[in-house]
Amino acid sequence: MATASKTSKVMLKLLIDTKGQRVLFAEAGKDFVDFLFYLLSLPEEGDVGCLTDLYQSLENLNETYMQPNQNKISMLNPKSSLNSNGLPLMLSDNHDQSTAGKFYLCGYYNHVSDVYNSICPCGSGYRMTKVLTFVNSSAAANSSTGTTAAVEGGFVKGVVTYMVMDNLEVKPMSTISSIALLNEFNVQNVRSLKEKIVVLGVDEGMKLLKASLECKTVLSSIFLGDTAA
């Protein structure tokens, strides 16, 4: 297990209904949303926990919020990207070595791998380290029209603040949607609402991964514990 100094940590701002003892939603940045979408790399085991809600929110998310080198079709039909510890890469030590959209070429033969520094199967013993960058159709279209879009890595754009519901449903943050949620949750007194800043590290990430398979009140169960409704 990595030490705290070497491990990525993500900050969240929770809006808590103290009367109902529940997290209404979290205000989150790109890192946390990228982490959540990594959860969809889990092998499919039917309708479990809140992964269906997360999957649906990705399906409903407008393409304008996605990185130009990502497409939702691939994300909705992923290959497993869990590392050897079973932890999605976004919170692992290897997060900075994440290589989404990149491929590596053998310097001797034209073999390609998506794993950096892997040994080429040609038998030469060469390591596959020469970087080839995959450009999907939308990015290629931008290039052909003379427009360019910066790629930040991960899945979603970082200039946006996201709202993450207790069941991990993701949507862009807006004042209107926040007010609508208060009505939806039947919050009668805004004085019962409290903001709380929390930090998500490896331990919390593992708890979130487990809770996402078991329940639909993930944020409440992790950050409110036994007091959750």
- What pLDDT digit, counting tens, does each position of 198-228 carry? 998 888 888 998 999 899 999 999 999 865 5
Looking at the domain assignment, is residue 94 inside a domain?
A: no
Lowest mean pLDDT among 32-46, 94-108, 138-152: 138-152
Q: What is the mean pLDDT of residues 152-172?
A: 91
Q: Assess whether 70 and 174 both reside in one domain.
A: yes
Q: Which residues pair with 162 in a beta bridge?
A: 28, 172
Q: Is the pLDDT of residue 89 over 60?
A: no
Q: Are residues 74 and 166 in the same domain?
A: yes
Stated length of the chain: 229
pLDDT for 22: 94
Sheet of strand 102-106, all strands in order from the earlier edge strand to the far edge = 112-113, 102-106, 127-133, 118-119
Query: What does DSSP assign to residue 78?
Result: P
Number of H helices, E strands in the chain: 7, 9
Return the C-alpha torsion angle 157, 64, 141, 132, nearest 10: 30
Write out the residue range of the structural domain in which residue 148 sits. 101-152
Bridge partners, 164 (sequence order): 26, 170
**Confidence band for 101, pLDDT divided at 50, 70 and 90:** low
Question: 170 and 71: one domain?
Answer: yes
* Residues 143, 161 within the same domain: no
Give the three-state DSSP class for 16: strand
Q: Of 128, 152, 176, which residue sits at a domain end?
A: 152
* Cβ neighbours around 193 below 10 Å, total: 14
Same domain, 38 and 60: yes
Structural domains counted in the chain: 2
* Residue 143 in this model has a pLDDT that exceeds 80: no
Q: Look at residue 202 in the predicted model and tell me its pLDDT.
A: 85
Q: Which long-range CB contacts under 8 A does 68-74 form with residues at least 24 apart?
A: 68/136, 68/138, 68/139, 68/142, 68/149, 68/151, 69/100, 69/101, 69/133, 69/134, 69/135, 69/136, 69/139, 69/151, 70/100, 70/101, 70/136, 70/155, 71/136, 71/137, 71/138
Residues 105 and 78 in one domain: no
Q: Which residues contact 9 (CB under 8 A, 6 or more apart)?
A: 91, 199, 200, 201
Note whether 222 and 160 are same-domain residues.
yes
pLDDT confidence bin for 33, thresholds 50/70/90: very high
Residue 44 has what pLDDT? 56
